[in-house]
Structure 1
Amino acid sequence: MVPKCPHEGCKNELLAESCRKFLPHKLIETMQQRKVEASIPVTEKIYCPYPRCSALMSKTEVLEYSKNVIGAQKQCIKCRGFFCFICKVPWHNGMTCHAYKKLNPNPPAEDLKLKSLATRSLWRQCVKCNHMIELAEGCYHMTCRCGYEFCYQCGAGWKDKKATCSCPLWAEEYLVRGT
């Protein structure tokens, strides 16, 4: 999330430039990166599939950058690596998406490791955008950064600020920080 002014009642965003005098350079970079991330709608976000890059781009940006490239093959705007816009993997040269998926039915090892970590850590995945969410404290009513609201216990959506499931609203161990 983009940082907001800590003064009570103020809703203004903190600008990285105005914080440069008292924050470390690394934190300023993080603030600037978060601003870029927040500016791209969830449905527009696409990541470079190359692990050494993983650049965040918007679909519009990728399509414009790769306008001279035909079909599903697109190019990362940062590392210039070619990837499949449909499969979200490095370019599968000479192979249709259907053939690629048939030859590679299992997710990559990195995805399996993340799923295993998420299971062990009791993380949940937003059903709308697939973003991983961890309940550190508070109730089971989650609001994902994409705006989707759901129950952390069972994943059922919320409507009009009300649960559509019969799960408890909270567990005491999550209500107080550090317990």
Structure 2
Amino acid sequence: MIKKECQICFERLRKRRFLKVTANCNHELDVCKLCVGKHIQTQLESNGNIEIYCPSSDCKEEMQHEDVKRIASKKVFERYDKLTLTQTLSKLPDFRWCKNSRCGAGQINFEGDNSPLMTCEACRQKYCYTHDVPWHEGLTCSEYDSIKLGEDKATQNLLDIETKPCPKCGVRIIKNGGCDHMTCTIKTCKYEFCWLCFADYVKIKRNGESSHERTCKLYVTDPQNF
């Protein structure tokens, strides 16, 4: 009885346990059906990925819908089929998902921005095609834009006032009272600096307050220079 080794599980199996993964695969049959099925399941569960390629190390052929259906279990294929439909619909420019989190339906609005009010055919939730949000009752899309622009600007102004970027990594940091000696909250950074002038606190600790920028209120001339 002739057996061969699967390049993934390394089991020696009968030749009939191996299969051609895609119609375009032209390599030796070196991966068993069980491992291909597990490969498909792993791609779906870990990445939500519907672009699945032949697991053979020497092959880059993408598995087609009929390949997945032929090899995967019924449960795995149903998940793949649903993800494929979802991603295909999401790419349609006129398609919008219902904004009711408990619904999961969606539909196409062929009139687009000319008729932005959409009503879900499944749950009757109203939502806006143009802004892709629950319907802004009592406001036209232009009025909604004006309010949203004002809110965004106010939020940005607040961020500019309440936060500052770390001089080293650029991540914005909030100061919740206390002294002006700051430490970046990013674990891979932990840069220490002055909240007022961004001076390096390693230098301040080593050389004293003269290491602050001259315009900083914490700057003090080195007494040895008097």
Q: TM exceeds 0.5? A: no
Larger Rg: 2
- Relative to its length, the structure with more helix (as a share) is 2
Higher RCO structure (Cα 8 Å, ≥6 apart): 1
